[in-house]
């Protein structure tokens, strides 16, 4: 329960149209990296294994494998350092948190792909364009 006053202050820091993705999706997260006086965007791609929070505190965890080692990174959804989140693949999952993927190795780590029909994809694109 947050007070209306806190919501009013936080509202100005929220992104106007946050990216839409779900747990189990494979995403590319563009992160703003500042090195000295230079700034660049680094892409972190992996599977979304958790989402939590709401409002300005909403965050998500992305997991990927680098050199046979699992790497997880937590991002704040409304952070100015998160430039964009692009969904590469939709995952079909039955859990809200996919922490069990930490113990899986090889092909067992893969999730089923959620196939979206052509008509459904067009409807969601039209809905996203009008919003």
pLDDT in tens, 105-131: 877 877 888 787 766 666 666 666 665
Tokens of 104: 């899986």
CATH number at residue 96: 2.30.30.790
Task: State the number of CA atoms in the 13 A half-sphere of 29 facing the CB.
Answer: 29
For residue 50, give its domain range: 4-130
How many domains does the chain fold into? 1
Distance between CA atoms of residues 125 and 118, nearest Å: 11
Answer yes or no: is pLDDT of 15 > 70: yes
Q: What is the pLDDT of residues 17-36, one digit of tens each?
A: 999 999 999 999 999 999 99
């Amino acid at each position: 329960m947050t007070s209306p006053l806190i919501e009013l202050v936080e509202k100005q820091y929220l992104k106007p149209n946050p990216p839409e993705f779900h747990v189990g999706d494979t995403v590319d997260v563009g992160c703003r990296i500042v090195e000295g006086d230079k700034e660049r965007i680094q892409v972190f791609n992996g599977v979304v294994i958790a989402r939590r929070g709401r409002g300005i505190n909403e965050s998500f965890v992305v997991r990927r494998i680098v050199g046979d080692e699992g790497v997880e990174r937590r991002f704040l959804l409304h952070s100015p350092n998160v430039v964009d989140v692009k969904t590469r693949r939709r995952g079909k999952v039955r859990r809200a948190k996919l922490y069990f993927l930490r113990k899986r190795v090889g092909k067992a780590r893969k999730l089923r792909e959620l196939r979206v029909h052509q008509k459904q994809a067009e409807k969601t694109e039209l809905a996203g364009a009008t919003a």
